[in-house]
Amino acid sequence: MEKLSIFLVFAVFVFQGCSEESLLDTTDLNVADALQAKAPKDNFANGELEVTIAKAPVAPDGTTAKAITDIVLTFVNPDPEVEGIGLKSGGHIEVELPKGFKNTGAGGDGIIILQGWPQSPPIPFLWTTTVVDNIITATLTSDYLPGMFGPGPKQAHLLLLGFENPKPGKQQISLSIKPDPNSMETFSGVGEVIIMPKARPSIHAVSVFSGPPGPPPPFFNPLYQTVTLGQTARQVGMYLWDKGNEPFVGVNIESINPGHGRMVKNGSTVGHVWIDAPVGATDYNLSTAGPSTEVNTVVTGIPTGLLLIEFNPDPLVAGNYALVFQINNGNTQNLFVNVTP
């Protein structure tokens, strides 16, 4: 595998292009700040949820004007150490889209309740989905609680084949959760999604290339890995699309200097990689299986570029490593590796 040695990064960096998922002011923003800026709260006091919304990882245009609506609402911190919201049979998650989202009546709409990473729902689904106008509801048919399949419900992936996105601009989407039909407890929040005039380049980690558990889902969590000293983190598959919605193939990662790698295609820079590592770590590296190749995505079957990466922590230094992948004029993808003694 081609090696990229990336060492501890202390330098401040500037993202090239802003993310449709999170339009951050990245001037004078270091890696740790970037990671924290996108993290939802760990708790949901007084029934209030902090909701963030991003394009789903299995399509290039889920937040593009006039395209099929394909988005993920995150309502609990994805960190697997944080418990999700337990849902009892008869409880529900309800999402209300603004009227600008057009319900075409074509059907094929669904909510997939995730646990903080892609391809993480229990199979078969423990809920049914109903659609009334622009209100989409997942009603639990069995309990879905923390500890049963993982940390528990944290995200709602809306794959709405019968909906068309509105014109470009900011849209407010409401989320409400009633975890137990026999309790008065409810949670609610409003998230903002930016509908883009056209699709932007994007990079997304998915779960199906990292080994067991799965199939069937829930698959292994590639976003938050824990290994012991001397172990290599599992391989992670990254889906890539260019600005024309086409599979971004032929992309690889090369070193620029310690702490900074670049994503390249035909010698041109198309993105960057940064790593934040524990104090004292120097002997760690990132490798790829070669340039990205064309595959079809899971779930949607859409052609995409696939880049397989593998991170090797310093074999002598435990602690938390964070990897930030930034595609030019597109989004960021964060990966975390916790190394224990």
Q: What are 124's two structure tokens? A: 């078969």
In 10 A of CB 84, how many CB atoms? 24
Average model confidence (pLDDT) across the chain: 89
pLDDT value of position 71: 98
pTM over 0.95? The answer is no
Residue 15 banded pLDDT, cuts 50, 70, 90: very low
Give 47-195's CATH code, choosing from 3.40.50, 1.10.10, 2.40.50, 2.60.40: 2.60.40
pLDDT reading at 20 higher than 50: no
Q: At 219, give phi and psi (nearest 5°).
A: -85, 175
Q: Across-strand partners of 330?
A: none
* End-to-end CA separation in angstroms for the chain: 27
* Residue 215: DSSP 8-state: S
pLDDT reading at 217 higher than 60: yes
Cite the residue boundaries of each domain of the chain with CATH code 2.60.40: 2-20+200-340, 47-195
Among residues 322, 293, 286, the alpha carbon closest in space to that of 2 is found at 286
Q: For domain 2-20+200-340, give the fold.
A: Immunoglobulin-like (2.60.40)
**Is 82:184 a contact under the CB 8 Å cutoff?**
no
Q: Between 5 and 241, where is the model more confident?
A: 241
Radius of gyration of the chain (CA): 20
> What are the angstrom distances between the C-alpha of 27 and each of 98, 101, 193?
32, 33, 22
Give ∠ CA 93-24-324 in degrees, rounded to 5.
85
Average pLDDT estimate for 9-35: 37
pLDDT value of position 256: 81
Residue 46 banded pLDDT, cuts 50, 70, 90: confident
pLDDT value of position 260: 84
pLDDT reading at 14 higher than 50: no
pLDDT reading at 28 higher than 50: no
The string of pLDDT tens digits covering residues 119-170 is: 999 999 999 999 999 999 999 999 999 999 999 999 999 999 999 999 999 9
Amino acid at 102: K
Beta-carbon contacts of 73 under 8 Å, excluding residues fewer than 6 positions away, are: 51, 52, 53, 95, 155, 156, 157, 158, 173, 175, 191
C-alpha span between 263 and 239 (Å, rounded): 13
